[in-house]
Each structure stands twice: as C-alpha cells, then as structure tokens.
Amino acid sequence: MAELNLYHIDQITSDVKMQEIGFSHLFHDLVDHICCDVEYHMQQGMSFDEAYNMVKSKIGFRGLKRIQEDTLYVVDSKYRYMKKLMKISGVAGTVMLGIAVIFKISHWPLAGMFLTLGAIILSFLFLPSALTVLWKETKNQKKLILFIAAFIAGVAFIIGMLLKIQHWPGAAIMVTLGLVTGIFIFIPSLLSQLFADKEKKHKRPLYLAGAFSLVLYGAGFWFRLMHWPMAGLFIVTGSFALICIVLPIFTWIQWKEEKHVNARFIFMVVAPLLFILPGALVNLNLERNYEGGFYLRLEKQEALINLQKAGNLKILSLYEDSVDFQKMQAVHTAAENLLGTINLIQHNMVTVSEVSAGTPDQALLSLKGPKINTTVNYGDLKKPFHPSPSSFMLLPGCPARTILENEVSGYEKILTDLLGNDWTKKQSTLLNVSSFLPEGVAEFRNLALAPDLNRLSILESGILLTEAAALKEISVK
C-alpha cells in the first residue's frame, strides 16, 4: 500500500505555509486533509507527483486561502465587519471619484465635494479595512512593513492628488511622501516577499525589471508634478520597459505555465494599461495647460508690452517740437535702459537653466555685457521649470536683483526730479520690485524659470505704464 513519507509530508506542509494559512488549527487540518487525499490517489496507482498535482488542481489557485477566508468570515465577527466595510467603502469611494471626474470634465458644480469625499473614503475607510483584512488572513510578521508602507503611500498619494487638483496647500509634500514611500519602502518590501517564493526563482529577473520600470515611471510622475527636469525621460523609459519588456516576458512565461487563460493573466495585461494611461493623460494635461494656456498668456503679455512701447513712442513723436521734449526723452531713455536690464536678466536666466549643474558663470549672475532689447521666446525654453536661475538671480541679495533694484531707484529719482515726490509716490506700486519678485528664501520652493520670467515681464509692463503716465503729465504741463 502506497504511503506518504516524511519528505512528502514536509513538502505539503511547506506549500501550505506558502499560502499563509494562519488561522488557529486550520493549518494542521488542511495539511492533514491534503495528505489523506494525496495518499488516496497514490493507492490508486499514481506516483506522489501525479497525485499531488491532481489534488492541487482540484483545490485550485487560492483555494486554501478561500477556505481560510470563509472560515474567518463565519467565526470572526470583526473580520466579517471589516470585510463588509472594505467592500462598501471601496465601491463608494470609486463611485464618488467617478462622479467627480464626470462633473469636473463637464464643469458642473459639486465636483470638488465628490472628489474630496471619494478621496477621504478610500484613504480612511477602504485602505485601513483592506489592510486589516489582509493582516487577519496572513498574520505574517514579515509583511508588516509591506502593509504599513502600502497604507502610508496610498493615503499620502490619494490626499496629495486631491490637494493638487483642488489647488490646496501641502500637495507637493503629500505626493512626495506617497511616492518616496512607495519607491523606497513598498516596492523593495514587495520584492523581498516575491523573492521568498522559491518555486518562482525563474521569475526573479522579471520582478526586478518590473520594479525598476515602476520606480522610473513613479519618479517621472513625481518630477512632472514638481516641474523638475528629466520627468519626460523617466516616464518614457519606465513606460517603455513596462510595456515592451516586462509585459511580453510575463506573457511568454504565463503562456508556458498556464494551459488556459485565467483571470490573473487578464488582470496583469490590463493593469499596466490602467496604470500608464491615466498617468499619460495627466502628463498630457499638464503639458497642455502650460503650452496651450500658460505659454499663451505669456505671449499675450509680451504682445501687451509691445503695444505699450508703441504707444509711448507715439506720444514722444507728437511732442518732438515741444519745449519739454528733452524731459520726455530723459524719461523714455531711463525706461528703455531699465527694460534692457530686465531683458538681460531674462536671457541670462535662460542661459543658466541650460548649462550643466553647479554654480553658473558669475558674469551671467552679475549682468556683465551689453543690454538686450529682444524678449525671450517661451516656446524655445528647454527647462521651463528649472528652479536654479531664479534662486541665483531673483532672490534678495543676489547681484542681478540688487542691480535691478538700484536701477529702479534711479528711474524713480528721475521721475521725482521732473514731476515731484508726490507724483512719484502715486506710481510706487508699479515700480515696487518686491511686489513682483520673491521676497525671501521662504519662497525658494515655489521658484521656477517660466513663471519668474513672467514676473519680470509684468514688472516691464509696470515700468511702461509709469513711463506713459509721466509722458502725459509732462505734456500737460
């Protein structure tokens, strides 16, 4: 009569352990049941491998886990409550976010409310209940870090995206916390758990490639939201590796191991699309917002400045034969000199953004060289959200900022000499550099090249408005 030996029993016990059966005496009952079933088939003339494979095929994928879940559901009221809460909150949160998306796209009211409710439900009801259910089902101390990292990353990312979409403060901190936790804690912990499965050693290179792709894509998504350079490279590389390398290799391995297409395979094929497509849409939307919206406004700002310049020149041309033309010419020359300094700062900022990392050329920072009368072409910016140029040139105490403030003071003195102190004070708002540029280091994290170029353009417009008012005041007198 065929019987199981100790080696066979150890193999069955090890396999059941891999299923993370941790509820009371259920583990020993399942091992005993499987051993009896295998022994029965062996008595029918099968070898151990044939009998064990038949028993495993009858149990099916996650069969033992389902038995444990059903047992817990019957005997553990807390587990039953948490599982119901997980299902209800998961559906409710997803429905809320779906409604929020529809309302947001259609520009209907209450979109923000649905978005907030959906994010709160998923973060503080669904995720805690889901992780509690997983912990009760596994009770694996080795997975504790994985569960904690999943909770922190999930909550931080969901809340961070909510704050980002709603334009509330703290978005950058929460998104950064979520992505950093996911990249540096969750993914390594998940890899550790996957590597512990000795039966799937042949899949370890695939796991590494998948993790590397996700890290690259997550880093790119993070860089894109923060408007940092290299975002596009990371996103494209991560997406390419995931779609063109990891997914085909996974499909090939599953094709060899599985005789039939199952739900896991379909999910693994669809999951990368569900992961990548929304990210691609977010990135395209961000680019469209800046290229089709923000950049368009910058170009309109430059067109307004050109109109102001043309208007001031027209006023000058009308009073060429006037006695006070020299006064008007002095105001115009001072304004043109000041605008040339601003244009020089803008061009030097663009140059600083395109040079290699490190301290840039001091000649650029101290505005060595002739004044420039041409404006920056925003469409040609290679790194429109690079923070370094602004931090080197626009913060208080920087040489370029000091030169600009001194020249503005000189311009105000010319206006005061010609039109009086009271008149100049009325125009002080348009010439106050601190109202246009960063006031201190506290604003450093909000600095970026393109928006700060626009700050300087608005200051240009204020100077031209002051010039126009001064020319008209002199012409009246």
Q: pLDDT tens-digit profile of 36-80?
A: 888 877 888 788 888 888 887 777 656 677 777 676 666 677 778
pTM for the full predicted model: 0.56
CA angle in degrees (0–180, nearest 5) for 401-407-411: 140
Q: In the numeric block, which tokens belong to residue 173?
A: 């901190």
CB proximity list for 387: less than 8 A, separation 6 or greater: 444, 447, 448, 449
Give the residue carrying structure tokens 């001064």: 470
367: left (phi over 0), alpha (psi -120 to 50) or beta: left
Q: Report pLDDT for 467.
A: 92
Q: By the 8 A CB rule, do 97 and 104 touch? A: no
Q: Which residue has the higher pLDDT, 197 or 122?
A: 122
CB proximity list for 138: less than 8 A, separation 6 or greater: 20, 22
Most confident range, picked from 170-184, 243-257, 284-298: 170-184
What is d(CA 214, CA 229) in angstroms, rounded to the nearest whole number? 19
Helix axes 449-476, 399-419, angle to 10 degrees: 10
Per-residue confidence band for 156, with pLDDT thresholds at 50, 70 and 90: very high
pLDDT in tens, 294-344: 667 777 888 888 899 999 999 888 888 888 889 999 999 999 999 999 999
Q: Report pLDDT for 117.
A: 94
Q: By the 8 A CB rule, do 312 and 468 touch? A: yes
Q: Which of 145, 143, 139, 243 is nearest to 197 (CA)?
A: 143
Q: By the 8 A CB rule, do 200 and 179 touch? A: no
Helices (H) and strands (E) in the chain, counts: 22, 0
CB proximity list for 242: less than 8 A, separation 6 or greater: 210, 213, 214, 217, 272, 275, 276
Residue 360 main-chain phi, psi, to 5 deg: -75, 175
Q: In the numeric block, which tokens belong to residue 8?
A: 């066979």
Q: Report pLDDT for 261.
A: 53
CA angle in degrees (0–180, nearest 5) for 258-262-210: 75
Most confident range, picked from 160-174, 247-261, 434-448, 451-465: 451-465
pLDDT in tens, 192-225: 888 877 767 778 888 898 889 888 888 887 887 7
Element of type H or E holding 351: helix 325-354
